[in-house]
Structure 1
Amino acid sequence: MTLPSFDISPIQLAPIRAAERRATKILSILDPDQDCPTFEADHHILRFHDVEQREVGSNWVEPPTQEHVASIISFARTLNPDDRVLVHCAMGVSRSPAAVLIMVATLTRSPHAAVGELARIIPCGSYVPNRLMIRLADGQLQMGGALVRHIPHCHRLAPDPNDIW
């Protein structure tokens, strides 16, 4: 299967990268109160925080939900091999890589292909896909845990996110 061309960007570089790559489709994943750049391409916006669980006692945190992930899967199903897709979030290291994994897994039904495509886009160890997004997608795509099991292959050189904070 021929995949669309995927690229990942932090929000600051997204307009420049979209223009350079002549993106035909943009997926913006932003915090609920974050401003979004404007783009000429077909633009899909999702809003949720980059967290992997709801913070205890916190009403302001909006984690990714089943609906957010279903929207990414639906977006992936609109893609064709000629599309040039830019995915961006705040930093381009968690939500965007997770979204690309989800989209490639949707199109190929292969976690291995999803990890391979992500490695082609950004160097291993430069990202830590949002695990909650991946868990939700694994269930929706009925992958039986295969996508979740491939997460360690995505960031085997990356630091444990629990060690960062």
Structure 2
Amino acid sequence: MSARIAKLVPYRLSICGLHELDGFCEDGVSHVVSILDTGHGTVEVFERFGPHHREDFRFDDVVEELPGRLLPSEDEVARLLRFGERLAADGADHVLVHCFMGVSRSTAAAAILLAQHNPGREPDVFEALNDIRPRNWPNRAMIGHADRLLGREGALFRAMVDQHRSVTRRYPDMADLIRSVGRGHEVPTD
């Protein structure tokens, strides 16, 4: 675990996509945040994990209302925050957060868990996120809900926008990826 992450949370935090879950079967994962599309079925790889606590979420990787797609709701982000509250009480050792690609919903969820107990350290949250998953693009709807629920008055959201700008500079192809999924309005133009 990087020193940046250790200053924010007392557990190991990992992020991955669905295709990477096999690599964590023997990794001592104690808690899982599983985020997949609404139509996705059971994830059977978890049967090969050791004992763990898991919270399953089903919503689509969208940031605005679209026909046939389920937008991440404030209620779902509140549920994630409740799960985050239980991590210390449960003695979490290794928390794994995954979504389909390991780029947007999972990185937003991890940022929310990092931000939850670290008010005023929003830029540190995204620096730590870079240590865990350098190619990240946190879902802005999820971050917006968390910003409101945590009472950050826009600080978490602004730090995410700065993060998008930073990721675009480091990985120019990420801008193309985000545009290709209809979220080009999120790509900073400066």
Aligned pair count? 159
Residue 6 of structure 1, aligned match among 9, 13, 17: 13
Equivalent residue number for residue 163 of structure 1 = 179
Distance in 2 of aligned mates of 1:141 and 1:101: 13
1:76 aligns with 2:103: no
Q: Identical aligned pairs, as a percentage?
A: 30
Residue ranges of structure 1 left out of the alignment (5+ in a row) = none
Distance in 1 of aligned mates of 2:178 and 2:105: 16
Decide which moves more: 153-162 or 89-98.
153-162
Distance in 2 of aligned mates of 1:32 and 1:83: 29
Residues 52-111 of structure 1 deviation map (CA, whole Å, 9 limit, x = unaligned): 0111xx1x2110001110011111111127520000000000000000011110022221
Residue aligned with 1:150, SS: helix
Q: Rg bigger for which structure?
A: 2
Which structure shows the higher helix fraction? Answer: 2
1:106 aligns with 2:116: yes
Residues 105/120 of structure 1: CA separation in 2 closer, same or farther (3 Å cut):
same
Q: Give, as a single letter, the amino acid of the residue that structure 1 aligns with 2:141.
A: L
Q: Give, as a single letter, the amino acid of the residue that structure 1 aligns with 2:123.
A: H
The structural deviation recorded for 1:129 is 0.6
Task: Judge conservation of contact 2:37–2:58 (CA < 8 Å) in 1.
Answer: yes
* TM-score, normalised with respect to structure 1: 0.88
Residue ranges of structure 2 left out of the alignment (5+ in a row) = 1-6, 169-173, 182-190
Task: Judge conservation of contact 2:8–2:114 (CA < 8 Å) in 1.
Answer: no
